[in-house]
Chain A
Amino acid sequence: MAALPTLEKPPAALADLPVGRPRTGWRKYWHLYAAISPFYLLFLCFGLIPVGFSLYLSFHRWDGLGSMEWAGLSQYRYLLSDTEFWSSIGTTIVIWALATFPMIFLAMVTAVMLNSAVRFKNLYRVAYFLPNVTSVVAIAIIFGSVFSTNFGLVNAFLQAVGFDQIAWLNTPWGIRIAIATLMTWQWTGYNAIIFLAGLQTVPGELYEAARMDGAGPVQTFFRITLPMMRPVLLFVLVVSTVTGLQSFSEPQVLLQNTSNDSTFSGGPGHAGRTMVLYFFQQTFDNNDFGYGAAVAWGIFLVVVLFSIINWRLVQRRGED
């Protein structure tokens, strides 16, 4: 495979070869450090310093303009007793659960179907992936109209089959269901493709053996497919936890004009105000940068804790 070194070296290249004492240390490696430095410089300026600064900020009171004032632990103490923050955690988890469990179920079903389909395989894959490619803003606008009270498609359907209309974007559960539906729609296909990748790693002999033993499709799924898929399931669950608990654009775009007090309010009764929306409201509406920083660390902690819990749950089930 490797091209053999040519014997006739151009004289210019020969002249470039290092002559005399071997280069050492920084002089020998400088080009390597130079090549990786853009990322680390950017990270230093816009990653590390910001994270350090946000820790510093969380111990201060600051409106973004005036001078900072030492606040000690008082903002964290306030955070612990802040019922609005706690209710935003609850809202976030409810929306996450409403979106994630149907999504994982549907993605699994889709993946199994895709795996047994022989024809149009690539066409299906592209079609299922499409929702994930689109912008959340455009999709939130479209879903806003689908769930609209006066002329929304969902209500038109309900009316047609004889039910009462529901003020989807005006009631707590309507808001949560609308956001969750949007998220489920956007991520099911993506996760189905990931599951499909996992399904293809399951050895075919296992299925053959199961068929020989007379196992039906349902039995095969629960005895072979699901156990073999556990690592992929874990990956999907952790990724959807990290992204789902940080949802911002979906509720923000969907609900920004349903309430008058703030574009980050999460709709009537704050029913769709997720943790990150609350962070934005505290920081950029109230100009309370110090408390905003404390809220951000609170969110970070919730996400890490929740990811660990999810991880543990799936892993433990794997042990028996």
Chain B
Amino acid sequence: MASTQGNRRTKRIDGTARRGVALHAGLVLGVLLSAFPFYWAVIMSTHTSSEIFSYPPKLLPGTHFPENLRSLFDNIDFFGSMFNSLLVAGTVTFLVLFFDSLAAFVFAKFAFPGKRLLFVLLMFIFMVPAQLQAIPQFVIMAKLGWIGSMTALIVPAAANAFGIFWMRQYMKGAIHDELLDASRIDGAHFLRQYWHVALPVVRPGLAFLGIFTFMGQWNDYAWPLIALTNPDNVTLQVALSQLNGTHGTTDYGMVMTGALLALVPLLIVFAIGARQMIGDLAKGAIK
């Protein structure tokens, strides 16, 4: 190792260059592994089942996408269930953003009796596991007559402890007390302070919460599976899984087409918010 000075320097330069190439080769390999299942789904959605069954496997796109699309639409009410998913995910996201940020504003910037206790309770709620609530929620929903309707999905999700906690942390840093004091002296009442002073400042935090809420709702599977008992009135994820259950061995091309199309709205939301989200995660995840 310890040779002459010049020798060592050339070795180091060679080493860094080689390491740079290896680094990007490793990273690209990881990206390929991340992307491969998506690619594979695209391939399968463009072939007939018999082509899919053939050996060696097809690794390039075929020509049967339109046929697969048609049998997908024949087998499930794709746009109907997609509409249900959009309705639920959109409404929940809107309600969560409103209720969570309003509550977070109060916890971050105001003093009132019982605040500490209520906040500790909030953090405790954060940790209660979901399946402990599944049976009673089902029973309560049944008593209310909500089973089978979108209400059963929307109402319980309309506000959550995680969102309040997240927005509170964000607001504590982002909203300056002087700004609030100034608006108070100007005579702005509480809702006005929330709407005109707090919300504009915390827009990045809201974007992050909104994207995560939308994705969580769009991808939720267990609760809609139980709560939406009428097979004609389900969300996209449940409709997809029905497709897999009944037709999984017969028409993979069609199932893949459905799985792929179900990802499109998510990818659009992600594409819009990715920069915001990744930036926020990388900065704010560890505190």
Contacts and interface: CB of A to CB of B under 8 A. Distances in A.
A80 interface: no
A193 B155 CA distance: 32
A39 B35 contact: no
Interface stretch (B60-68, B69-77, B129-137, B202-210): B129-137
Interface in A236-253: 246, 248-249, 252-253
A142 B189 CA distance: 53
Contact of B105 (A35, A110, A159, A197): A35
Contact of B256 (A117, A122, A142): A142
A179 B113 CA distance: 49
A3 B178 CA distance: 8
B55 A133 contact: no
A3 B182 contact: yes
Nearest to A119: B24
Contacts of B259: 137-139, 141-142
Interface in B235-278: 237, 240-241, 244-246, 248-249, 252, 255-256, 259-260, 262-263, 266-267, 270, 274-275, 278
Contacts of B131: 246, 276, 279, 296, 299
A47 B135 contact: no
B75 to A, nearest CB: 14
**By CB atoms of chain B within 10 A, which of A14, A145, A246, A299 has the most?**
A145
A32 B110 contact: yes
Interface in A176-214: 185, 189, 193-194, 196-198, 200-201
B132 A257 contact: no
Contact of A122 (B27, B129, B240, B278): B278
A287 to B, nearest CB: 11
B87 interface: no
A155 to B, nearest CB: 9
Given A135-B266, A253-B241, A35 B282 contact: no
Contact of A156 (B57, B249, B282): B57
A119 B154 CA distance: 43
B286 A201 contact: yes
A280 B158 CA distance: 24
A150 B44 CA distance: 15
Contacts of B219: 134-137
A297 B24 CA distance: 47
Interface of A: 1-6, 9-10, 12-14, 16-17, 29, 31-33, 35-36, 38-40, 42-43, 45-47, 49-51, 53-54, 57, 64, 109-110, 113-114, 116-117, 119-120, 122, 124-131, 133-146, 150-151, 153, 156, 159-160, 185, 189, 193-194, 196-198, 200-201, 231-232, 235, 246, 248-249, 252-253, 256-257, 263, 276, 279-280, 283-284, 289, 292-293, 296-297, 299-300, 303
22 contacts: A3-B179, A35-B106, A39-B160, A39-B164, A40-B118, A43-B125, A45-B156, A51-B132, A57-B135, A113-B30, A114-B27, A126-B274, A131-B34, A137-B221, A137-B259, A138-B259, A145-B252, A185-B33, A198-B286, A253-B241, A276-B131, A289-B135
Given A137-B240, A276-B131, 5 more contacts: A39-B99, A113-B30, A128-B31, A138-B259, A253-B221
